[in-house]
Structure 1
């Protein structure tokens, strides 16, 4: 999947630094992405775009499947590298004003391992949390 092009000041298209691939059908995901979008909107020259991969019209990156992408949080960088789980969150946080300090935690030895294991535990309870969040909508 090639992220949508955005015009630059020179008039040529430029890829966003990061494309967030999220599950727009998930009430938890929609809320979280809403927070990220509001933060990203505060940054001049925002470099993150958001792609709702629950929408069948949105193309998926080469070599990935929609089901695989919907099962975990993913981002794709400008070079097409697909990151998942804790690595994806850290990459996104590096681009969000006010959250960059959190991305620095990934540099602490063992932090990424702990974050990934915590995220995997979250994924186990995600279906129950989704049902709860859907009731709030």
Structure 2
């Protein structure tokens, strides 16, 4: 399956395997990790664009549940579940949801410090409580505010992605 990242951004599909994830120090039973998200949601789309650009090693796959041709509902979940909270499917088929999905996605793209912060004793319960509240109200967040939140991060991710893009033994900027 060609990743959405490859289709949307013209980034080559790296053909990630479990072995590639193992070499990168990631759990090969988890990666590649497929993220199920709603691109019709400006906040969700901005965060996934950020992750797509940072995923230069191809540890993540992206599945837009709001796409008209989407049919890949993971076992144990419903379409309504996927639209309510972010879900992911691990390389070995486990289905995860909520904050755990973000934690694993951030680890995959080199943002381990964000993942570690989400495990801290004070922040973890706050994140686990706050994410469902945010998810329920995400469509109420104005696009301008989302742009303000993510514009710098997406720009930096795009710059890093461009630096990391190599073809035929030479890297281009």
> Aligned residue pairs: how many?
123
| Regions of 4+ moved over 6 Å | 134-137
Structure 2: 5+ residue stretches without partners: 3-14, 18-29, 148-173
Report the CA distance between 1:26 and its aligned residue. Answer: 1.3
**Cα distance in 2 for residues equivalent to 1:136 and 1:17:** 27
Corresponding residue for residue 127 of structure 2: 115
Report SS of the residue matched to 2:55. helix
Corresponding residue for residue 32 of structure 1: 47
Question: Normalised by the size of structure 2, how large is the TM-score?
Answer: 0.61
Structure 1: 5+ residue stretches without partners: 9-14
Report SS of the residue matched to 2:35. strand
1:18 aligns with 2:33: yes
Report SS of the residue matched to 1:57. coil
**Cα distance in 2 for residues equivalent to 1:78 and 1:16:** 5
**Cα distance in 2 for residues equivalent to 1:7 and 1:123:** 30
Q: 1:56 to 1:94 in 2, by over 3 A?
A: same
CA RMSD of superposed structures (Å): 2.8
